[in-house]
Amino acid sequence: MAYVIVTLKIMPENIDVSLSQLETAARKTVEEYGCRVQRVEKEPIGFGLVALKITFSMDESKGTTDVLEEQLKRIPGIMNVEVIHVGRALG
């Protein structure tokens, strides 16, 4: 069985959004979708805006991340979700 390693960039609506609350909600959503969070990083964008990059693994039989992305976009404070990396891991 193969797994897919995915990194999503999550953009908050503005600099006033709590990144810790956003991270907690995003982690919960990803885990409820059946994925395992590997790492969460903060990426400074500019003018005080910081994006979250969340890396997780999922069974490739799930297919695309479209459903997960839509679920994440419904979290209050999230403006955009973008897939920035996809890789395949065997094992």
Query: pTM of the predicted model, to two decimals?
Result: 0.92
pLDDT surpasses 90 at 84: yes
Chain segment 3-27, per-residue pLDDT in tens: 999 999 999 999 999 999 999 999 9
Q: Could you say which of 3.30.70.60, 3.40.50.2300, 3.40.190.10, 3.50.70.10 is the CATH number of the domain covering 2-85?
A: 3.30.70.60
How many Å apart are CA 47 and CA 27, to the nearest integer?
25
pLDDT per residue as tens digits for the range 26-81: 999 999 999 999 999 999 999 999 999 999 999 998 889 999 999 999 999 999 99
Q: Is the pLDDT of residue 91 over 70?
A: no
Question: Which residues, in sequence order, are CB contacts of 20 under 8 Å at separation 6+?
Answer: none
Sheet of 2-12, strand order: 36-46, 49-59, 2-12, 78-90
CA 28 distance to own-chain centroid = 10
Q: What pLDDT is attached to residue 69? A: 97
* Domain positions in the chain: 2-85
Q: Which residue type sits at 81?
A: V
Residue 36 confidence (pLDDT): 96
Q: E strands of the chain, at which residues? A: 2-12, 36-46, 49-59, 78-90
